[in-house]
Amino acid sequence: MSPIEEVIINKNSNINPIWIMRQAGRYLPEFRDIRKQNPDFIKLCLNENLSSEITLQPLKRFDLDAAIIFSDILMLPYGLNQNVEFKKNVGPLLGNLNLEKILDIKEVDFVKKLSSVYNLIKLVRNSQLTNNKTTIGFIGAPWTLLVYMLNKKSPKLSLNENFFSDKNLITRVLKILDKFLKIHIKNQINSGAQIIQIFDSWAGLLKEKDLSHYIYDPTLSLVNYIKSLNVPVICFPRGVKNYKNFCEIVKPDAICIDYNVDPVKINKEIKIPIQGGMDPKILLSNKEDLKKEAIKYLDIFKDHPYIFNLGHGVLPETDPNMMDYLVKTVKEY
């Protein structure tokens, strides 16, 4: 049994574990109540009492197998003193990158700045709601963080045309990210995170020839580090064209797939545990279609270690009753 299976599989049953990307958040009315009173997203993430409460909200409603901490991948650039704000209907906006100032940042100051994230994990681990549940911490992959830090906003469909112009800057930022992501990982694990997921939201922007330098090598460095701490790691290289290559090079304990890939092909090609795949938009349909689609994935992976999840985060307009129905469908399979 692989390390990830030991952590996730219900010891006394053959039920597929289920947790959902963005399970804590914007589709839940109780979250929206908190958000209305806390318009500054970064401050909300740094409010350990509220962020731990938000992390636990879905566990009060649904029979999920894990608590996924309520935080953000952009807490890392925030910890490096780059200005980060979230603008309604726009998304994240980042300030100018001052490399010299970042190079002066000491580990102790970085950890202090993000201490609320680590305290939130401790609060979640100490909750009765997480008895027999897994607590999942996460980070952004170096490539995706590089994109945000240099592009200063979501690339949506394309990168700034000068993005690759300063190769020296890119190399130096990737080196800084490797150092501080490892510090962030270590502190999450020391606080009680039992799995780390690496989100590479913008992996799909790169051409095949650039994957080694920007995705494979930097992610492998983090995967090896997490494994050295005896904690399983899940990778989600969203939009990457060849998941098989990624798994063979980066060697995560589990791979999360997006909804644009063929799950039958993935099942044939990939030996490690698989997570995700289902399109979040199915939750906006009806119970009949939802059940059909969920069972499609469960059938495809019935002889393969599989964590039920979506191929991206829950959409804000999702009805919580549909989420409840999905969780029950998976549990009853």
pLDDT of 279-294, one tens digit each?
999 999 999 999 999 9
All residues at 6 or more sequence positions from 208 whose CB lies less than 8 Å from its CB, including other chains: 241, 242
Alpha-carbon distance of 174 to 218, in angstroms, equals 8
> pLDDT tens track of the chain, all 333 residues?
565 666 655 544 578 899 999 999 999 999 999 999 999 999 999 999 999 999 999 999 999 999 999 999 999 999 999 999 999 888 899 999 999 999 999 999 999 999 999 999 999 999 999 999 999 999 999 999 999 999 999 998 668 888 999 999 999 999 999 999 999 999 999 999 999 999 999 999 999 999 999 999 999 999 999 999 999 999 999 999 999 999 999 999 999 999 999 999 999 999 999 999 999 999 999 999 999 999 999 999 999 999 999 999 999 999 999 999 999 999 999
Q: In what order do the strands lie in the sheet with 254-257?
A: 66-68, 134-140, 195-199, 233-236, 254-257, 274-276, 306-307
Q: Detail the DSSP E strand segments found in 215-277.
A: 233-236, 254-257, 274-276
The per-residue pLDDT for 156 is 83
Per the listing, tokens 């099942």 go with: 267
Alpha-carbon distance of 324 to 257, in angstroms, equals 22
Contact 243, 257 (CB under 8 A): yes
Contact 126, 67 (CB under 8 A): no
Q: Which helix (H) or strand (E) holds 68?
A: strand 66-68
Q: The CATH number of the domain where 200 resides is what?
A: 3.20.20.210
**177 three-state secondary structure:** helix
**76: domain range?**
3-332
List residues bridging with 197 in a β-sheet: 138, 234
Q: Which helix (H) or strand (E) holds 197?
A: strand 195-199
User: How do residues 107-139 score in pLDDT, each as one tens digit?
Assistant: 999 999 999 999 999 999 999 999 999 999 999
Tally of domains in the chain: 1
Contact 69, 56 (CB under 8 A): no
CB atoms within 10 A of CB 211: 21
